[in-house]
Amino acid sequence: MSHNSSGGLAPYISEYTTGFSEAGAGKSLVIKGSLLGLSAVVDIPAALGVETARTFETGATAGTLTITLTVESYLNGKWGIY
């Protein structure tokens, strides 16, 4: 993930969604940290799904970027994010 392609500071990620338990629409990938924003670049593999929306909430010391996805079908019952 890149916050500023011009060589600025990279975001600090303190917490994030580690997996999805089922496929379908309206699943949330939540990323918490500092130096985040709506324009943060998040690479989502096509095999995982398609981004449908994103929101950003600012807190006192960090923000929360929520990316809504349609998660594709998958094997073994769970998609992990590593």
pTM score over 0.85: no
Question: Using one digit for the tens of pLDDT, what is the confidence trace for 38-56?
Answer: 999 899 888 888 999 999 9
Cα–Cα dist 48/55, whole Å: 19
CA distances in angstroms from 62 to 14, 15, 30, 31, 47, listed in the order given: 9, 11, 13, 10, 30
CA distances in angstroms from 71 to 35, 45, 64, 65, listed in the order given: 26, 10, 20, 18
Read off the tokens for 65.
């970027």
Question: Using one digit for the tens of pLDDT, what is the confidence trace for 1-18?
Answer: 444 445 578 889 999 988
Residue of 17, 29, 20, 79 whose CA lies nearest to 53: 29
